[in-house]
Structure 1
Amino acid sequence: MKRRILLVEDNARLAGMLQTFLESLGHEVRSLADAEGALLLLGQEKIDLLVLDLKLGAMNGVELLQRVRRNPELKELPVIIMTGVFRGEGYARAAAKLGVKAYLEKPFGKEAFLEAVKGALAPPPVKRELFSMLLDLYHNGKSGVLQLGGGTRVVLLAGEPASFSSPRFVPFLVAEGHLLRSDLEKYPLSRPGKLPLCEAGLLSYDELQEQSRLFLSRILIEAVLQNQPPQFLPDLGAIEPPLTPLCLPRLLHQAAKQGSDRFAAGSFLEKAAPLYPLRTQQYYRLANLLGLGPEEIGILEQLGQGKKVREIFVPGGTARQAWFLDFLVRMGMVNLALEPGEDLDTGFPQKMLFNRPIEEVVEVEVQAMSFDDLVDEVSDSIDLAVGDTGMAAPLSASEIDFEQEVQRDYAAIQNKNYYEIFGLTQGNFSFASLKDSYFSKTRQYSPEKFMQLSGDTLSRAQDVLSHYANAYNTLSSVIAKERYDEMLNANVIGLAGRQDDALQARIQFQSGKVFLEMEDYNNAERALQDAYTLDAQDSQTSAYLAWSIYKNPANHGSQVALEKCRMLLSKSLQMGRSAEAFAFRGWMLLDEGRDGLAEGEFQKALKLNPQEQHALGGMRLIRERREAEKKGLFKRIFG
């Protein structure tokens, strides 16, 4: 079949030879020596194939190729590259990213050129899409071997990639700097496979596993983007260790995201614009396996709202994210319906969707928790033998002594300021003496003795410990101590507990922050709860109380405590946007594995305060996670 071919080559002798050869094949050839003229011709005439030299005049072949690909009418034009300068696999991969059909390094032979031309002009073979094939294998839980180009074999176990063998793996390690060619020559591998790299001491086992996983991710994403012809053999055969299992839905999402710059968003949106996207049951089975970012989760939020596709993806805004809806449709997670409807139910029990918008929890009042509340909370698991007088047996002498000690301590703290409680003054104060006195007074209040008390004695013991903790919290914090000294000197805080609630709330707040820094989360939670009780409308207090509850190991695994944290942070942000509240919420999301949403919260925090340490730490952790995967999962495969 006769085709129109544009040949762009500034070497007149080579251009003449190639033109003669192409015309002998029955093609019509236009030959030009400059990129400017070629660009003009491409805009005027229909061309079936562009044969392009990279080293031209004012405009080189690379720039011409980029302009061709930016033109919607030329983006599918087959291109063959010829070059004598830009040599190597890296250039070839970069050219392939721009849709180049063949990359010929000069000098090349007639057979190689003929094969390149035939391949570029040949109609695309009718073949099954690799993306769909992998998804079918995953859903059906098939095991076997996927044959890829270059002699690479990928083993699938129950539908997921689990191992591979490839002659490209060692060159990959060399190219990435994990192996030296000189070491390979000096310490040749004793047998085929990957484990001999560890046996020879060239890689540690952990490093081999990590690099194997990155390589497997890279070649599969590359194969999906290039839509390599799939060949699946149900017979497993030999499995080359180590096993490096990957999550296939997550890998397909990464491939779709990396190929988004080549996704034809315009044509997709033109077809899908009048349709309604609705979640399927498959959505709920796969959603928790994906790692989504804020923009993608923002799109999820608009599904099932009675909106058409054209209302979700506005030009110049989220239109560039249309690839994500296409991905959801291809995964079977979303249907595009002609009429609005309801999302399908999960069809199975599901506690949480990790990739979901942040919920604003309806505010409920947080009540202070007393010691009695704590006893009620665990009473179901404790068998209490209570007699007529409230005790299982008469008090022993030691128990009577402890009750008397509580009464003496309670009397001793009356009408005393925080210094006097510990036998100190502002003049002789030192942190060492404070610490010694505090632990000396509290050591006798052991949990065993405390649980023996009841009635008024128990209430007074609680008051004594509360006074000790408040006094220690305040005096151990430099900021709180200075403020306390100011109030003492100004007679704002008097004796016998005559206090201004707002000022005392600030003292408790500062004390709680100090204990958070010391990672003493029990005392931090107590101090901040006292501050919250005194001033429940302070946004900073709400935020830090939520953080102290969340960080306290005693609350781990408690859904009630977690919901209380969420409510407090939502309340804090309703009262006033604070960097700390955003940062704390970011860490909670990060711990849930919702890195994309967590990053959004950290960014909000840093916008309010660029030096917010919790947000900086969270962003640093996210960057470290991405850095660990950058050579595979998040690396551009042609970079």
Structure 2
Amino acid sequence: MPPKILIAEDNDTIAGALEGLLQRKGMTTERAADGVLALSRIIAAPPDALILDLQLPRLHGIELLKKLRQSPRTRNLPVVIVTGVYKGEQYIQAARALGVSSYLEKPFRAADLLAALHQALGTTAPPAPAPSTSREATMDRHLLRAFTSRFTGTYLLKCADGERNLVFLHGLPVSLRPGFSSKSFGDYLHRRGLLSAEEYGYYISPGDHNHEVLVSMGCLEYPDLLQEKFAYLSSELVDAFAAPPMTVEEMPAKAAAGHQALTVNVPNIFYQGFRRHLPPARQQALGERLSGRYLAPAKNYFRYINFLTLSDEEKRLLFSLDGSRTLGQCLGEETLLPPLIVTLATLEMVAWSEHPLSPALPDFPLRTLFNACQEDVEVELSFEQPLESFSDLVDKNEEPAPVITRRPIPPPPAAAGGDNPAGKVRETLARLRGKDYYETFGMTQGRFSFDLLKTRYFALTREFGPETLMQLSGEDAALVEEILSSVTTAYNTLSDVVKKERYDELLGSEKVGLGQAGDDLFQAQIQAQSGKVFLEMEEWDNAEKSLQDACNIDPKNGDYLAHLAWSIYRNPKNLSSRAMQDKVRQMLNRALTLDRGANAYAFKGYMLFEAGQDSLAEAEFTKALKLDARQAMARKGLRELQEKREQEKKGMFRRMFR
């Protein structure tokens, strides 16, 4: 007679999925959406086992469990706890005290639940499935199935040119023989010139066909051997994306508990495989399906995005997928879907909808997104950790390294004035006035070179160095300082990626250069940027000064005003001043009327959180993340709120067990 399982779960979707799984395995099931209903059904007809979610309405799961253990009739009822709230060893130990042998934290795998039930019922798990053959499909489909199901065992790949064995451990490829481009690992090394014909012959000889012999022969050092093995397996799997469709015979195996193999970067294999071998027809079909949809990061985005190595253009595309625009709007006139988007869709790293949607948040501590857009290079989830400052790319105390280039570098703009230092100074300053930062170094926005920028910057600064100053006095010396200040400002702007991008944006709308209209606006940006760096360094007085200068220049910029309010709020000297705290709140409200920005909402949320107004703080953090899913302070605030609630739950949990 099949075992009867009662599922006590208030989430209808989860309960339905559990019920379907158990019924497919030949069990009978019953559902209860709250604790009182579950208790009444157990009393009326005890099941063979209970799957219990702890956070049940009407009667908490712990209270239900206590009542069951107090009755002789249900004292020994097998119980499997499933919970997404009470996580950690302390809860597991407490549950064991009430006779619970299996404690699963959501999300869990179907195999884990079935194993827990068999253990609770005292039955044996069904035998491992016999090898099964899949339908014919391309390599990326087979690899995706193994990767997402965490398959352990061997795929016998049946291709038009023969069979290949691909071995997996928890969904990760660990070996392939033979390859798709090379017959073996030794053939791969031989073709690349890393093995001689004699060495290759010995490598493939009977009895010595193993990788370690390459170290013994002195062909590769052991770290190089590991690196080459990864390179071989990665390149062969990428080449497999170009192979014709094939069938796969799955031969499952059991892996040792806790075993972690060093293996290849699977998400990046999908990305590289699609970059090199994705058929245009498939790109176009998926593009037609998604172009009118809104895309935003899903849970898997944070699991896999740091495994990809992307270009700056692709990082900017990622940054635009925030759920507020359709994919077509993000891609512009692109006709074929970029391989990056195909990768994101294949690995379910993005969600899509016909309507705007909010990005998901990571469900684990996330320090940095390596593929953040240049406008948001550092994504720190701990506000106390300093961000990288915007410093020059060249140490001013060092002599510039000689520039090696294939093209001859044009000489720097000639200085007039002959041998008369004072005349040269005045004519150089007159020549620089009215020039934008590119023109200062004899370049244009479209023909920019960082090497040329360095060369001409150091040429100008050496030309007006200490020797020139020694020959000048009074007003002329002051003019030299003005030249050096202007040239240094231009260099600092163009040598910093973020500053350069913002400067380029300004150049598109109005003339900005040395002594031109628009300089004030740009200098406000520079002051604000400096103030934000001082904030991260916790230099509160300097931050306040720089941000106040930015607000004086551009008083209608809400972002500058919000950061100024935050610098005043965080300054320890203002903590005891009620007047300053009130001023800060007024400034922040004013900032939000000027610009409803993510930073302002995050600052407001933290002030409310520190005042103990948790619900209001959560609402402000949520607003911030809807505007910018990468807003570090809002993420940190929500995490601290969750930790605070977890502590409160722990207290409740302890009181229940008493």
TM-score by length of 1: 0.37
Task: Give TM-score scaled by structure 2 length.
Answer: 0.36
- For the pair shown, the structure with the greater C-alpha radius of gyration is 1
Higher relative contact order (CA 8 A, sep 6+): 1
